[in-house]
Amino acid sequence: MTSMSSIVLAASEHADVVPVAADGVFSWMWLLVAIPAVSAAILLIGDGAGDHGPLDRFGHLLGTAAAIASFVVGVVGFVALLGQDVAERAVTQDLWTWMQVGGFDVTMSVYYDQLSALFVLLITGVGSLIHVYSIGYMAHDPRKRRFFGFLNLFIAAMLVLVLAGDYLVLFLGWEGVGLASYLLIGFWQEKRSAAVAAKKAFIVNRVGDLGLALGIMLMFAQFGTTNIHEVGLNVTNASQSVATALGLLLLLGACGKSAQVPLQSWLLDAMEGPTPVSALIHAATMVTAGVYLVVRSAAIYDLSEVARTAVVIVGCVTLLFGAWIGCAKDDIKKALAGSTMSQIGYMMLAAGLGPAGYAFAIFHLITHGFFKANMFLGAGSVMHGMNDDVDMRHYGALRKLMPLTFITFAMGYLAIIGFPGFSGFFSKDRIIESAFATNFWAGLAALLGAGVTAFYMTRVMILTFFGERRWREDVHPHESPKIMTVPLIVLAALSVVGGALTFSDWIEDWLTPVTGSEHHELGVPAWVITLIIVAVVAVGASLAYVLFARRDVPDTAPQQVSVFTRAGRADLYGDAVNEAVFMRPGQYLTRSLVYVDGTGIDGAVTGTAELVGDGARGLRRLQTGFVRTYAAEIFGGALVLVLALLAVNLA
């Protein structure tokens, strides 16, 4: 168990993959993206004037049909891929040349291989279920047509991301999902908190996007190509430091999109969006794009131990960080969001282990997609019955009144804590095992995380479904309509059986051509680790039972709490750090620039009213409107320029 095995990687196997040109079914894979994209365009642009036109009445059906159609294409493609030879499972179809400059060219292509096939199924499958669920959840929203348009836009962008054969095209999808996420978090923009949360998500994500953008620039500068496959081939000849720099830049991008420390703070606020959005984007698919990026860039990470270690550290820190936050939140969605961060931390950790962990990262990503979407939709169903109250202290004893929601949620719960036989058991077990096999401390963090996960998820379960009823007076909990419970049932079933993917190592073998594979021997038999994990989980769950089921739950959160709880409630002071490091200087800068441009400002609209007010009241220093000031600026600038050039010469 203590084997700190030194990692010497064999020549990457995945570099040997030679993509074959698409034919037959595979030449239709572009439909995956095209169908939801067209549907989104129709829903968002078409027929704008009437508030009760046919698109407003049937738009949600169109959106759902588009998602399902895309899923059908995905299934057909997957089946066809199963029928291919292993050597021919990476299929590429060039649609058109996007840019070509000298020797550099970017092709809009569909790159469909084992990895993207799994993602396509997850995105369109879970996506379709969430579309169906949203028909019920958003039934009374006057703008549901737009909501479905955004969802379709998201599906299209996410598919562009996973089907991209070129980092630049991937970046296109990356920006697209960011945009869709921004629009959907702020969907109820009349809520100020939602608008602020959307803004925050956007800004934090931009920091991550910087990393990805710079990484792509670096690839272009070093290799003259941004094709993922060719970068993989070229990087083997590049220096260690280039691989490290690339790995770290991509990791920064991944941190932003996947809400990993230090760019984690947006995810909790993102829960302001409608719950189906939280389920689809902020749990099952988009936030896992960072993991996808790391796994897709396996060739780069294989060459840099530093970058891999950074990924492992980010993963470990986040998995504990998220779990800690999950323990302290009373808002059911925020507790689940903390858990999402934590689970993605597991995936990151696995991805950082190199070929030994890539497949497990993806495996956990898929099972997590099932059970977390399930639980978020379950939470949405609970909120639906509780007049959109999200405070778990106001729930309790809901299992009788919402039997279907309870049972499905319980399936998700058992899966996430890793109850033997459920999907999460297999996927988390694999990650913890490989972590121990590689680095004892990473393994320990993962093991500890499993215990904490069991603790806070049990807390959520007890507060919501068991114990006394603590409802507000005007609340009449009731089960949700069928259109919402059917997706719950399907997802619950998947949460139970999803672990089957690993039977006889199917998913490992399936992904080996993409990610390579490697096995580290543990110092002890695997079942010992499994037993330890189960024991730790049992301890966590029992602790929660003792603390929450055996005592009364106060109606308001107690204020006299330990420093740990307080820190957890404050998202571990992530916002305070951001504020001190980024926001204050940023505000100061904008304010001083507003100060600079005092003309034509009254600050009424764009949400910077208070900020602008200060500046406008101040003296108008530079942008005065007076020609003499401008002339003086030009003169000063000219003087500086002349002196600077002369100084360069003298130096």
Choose which of 531, 580, 581, 642 interacts with another protein (CB under 8 A). Answer: 642
Instruction: Centre a 10 Å sphere on the Cβ of residue 50 and count the other Cβ atoms it contains.
Output: 9
CB of 255 to another protein, least distance (A): 15
Q: Find all residues with CB under 8 Å of 194, minimum gap 6, and list them.
A: 185, 186, 187, 188, 272, 273
How far is the CA of 42 from the CAs of 56, 141, 181, 274, 498, in angstroms?
11, 19, 19, 22, 35
Choose which of 528, 561, 580, 646 interacts with another protein (CB under 8 A). Answer: 646
Cα separation, 288 vs 270, in Å, equals 15
- Cβ distance to another protein smaller for residue 236 or 608: 608
Report the chain's C-alpha Rg in angstroms: 26
Choose which of 504, 559, 606, 610 interacts with another protein (CB under 8 A). Answer: 606
The residues in 131-170 that bind another protein, with binding defined as CB under 8 A, are: 168
Angle (CA) 447-345-566 rounded to 5° is 80
Cα separation, 510 vs 502, in Å, equals 10
- Cβ distance to another protein smaller for residue 289 or 452: 289
Handedness of CA 328, 331, 337, 339 (dihedral sign): positive
- Cβ distance to another protein smaller for residue 217 or 531: 217
Cα separation, 328 vs 355, in Å, equals 35
- Cβ distance to another protein smaller for residue 58 or 626: 626
Q: Which two tokens stand for residue 486?
A: 């059917």
Cα separation, 108 vs 106, in Å, equals 7
Q: Is residue 410 near another protein by the rule CB under 8 A?
A: no
Q: Is residue 12 near another protein by the rule CB under 8 A?
A: no
Give the interface size with another protein as a residue count (CB under 8 A). 73
DSSP-derived 3-state class of residue 92: strand
The residues in 607-636 that bind another protein, with binding defined as CB under 8 A, are: 607-608, 611-612, 615, 622-623, 625, 627, 629-631, 633-634, 636
> How many helices and strands (H and E) does the chain possess?
26, 3
CB of 62 to another protein, least distance (A): 18
Per-residue contact track with another protein, 438 to 477, x per CB under 8 A? ----------------------------------------
Q: Which two tokens stand for residue 624?
A: 């005065």
The residues in 585-604 that bind another protein, with binding defined as CB under 8 A, are: 589-590, 593-594, 596-597, 599-604
Q: Is residue 48 near another protein by the rule CB under 8 A?
A: yes
CB of 505 to another protein, least distance (A): 38
Sheet containing strand 91-101, edge to edge, reads 20-21, 91-101, 104-112
- Cβ distance to another protein smaller for residue 82 or 642: 642
Q: Which two tokens stand for residue 310?
A: 């950074």
- Cβ distance to another protein smaller for residue 237 or 606: 606
CB of 252 to another protein, least distance (A): 12
Q: Is residue 8 near another protein by the rule CB under 8 A?
A: no
Read off φ and ψ for residue 109, nearest 5 degrees.
-135, 160
Q: Return the biggest CA–CA distance within the chain.
A: 85
Q: Is residue 644 near another protein by the rule CB under 8 A?
A: yes
CB of 212 to another protein, least distance (A): 10
Q: Find all residues with CB under 8 Å of 142, minimum gap 6, and list them.
A: 51
The residues in 163-222 that bind another protein, with binding defined as CB under 8 A, are: 168, 171-172, 175-176, 179, 182-183, 186, 189, 199, 202-203, 206-207, 209-210, 213-214, 217, 220-221
The residues in 63-102 that bind another protein, with binding defined as CB under 8 A, are: 96-102
- Cβ distance to another protein smaller for residue 309 or 590: 590
Per-residue contact track with another protein, 522 to 551, x per CB under 8 A? ------------------------------
Instruction: Centre a 10 Å sphere on the Cβ of residue 571 and count the other Cβ atoms it contains.
Output: 23
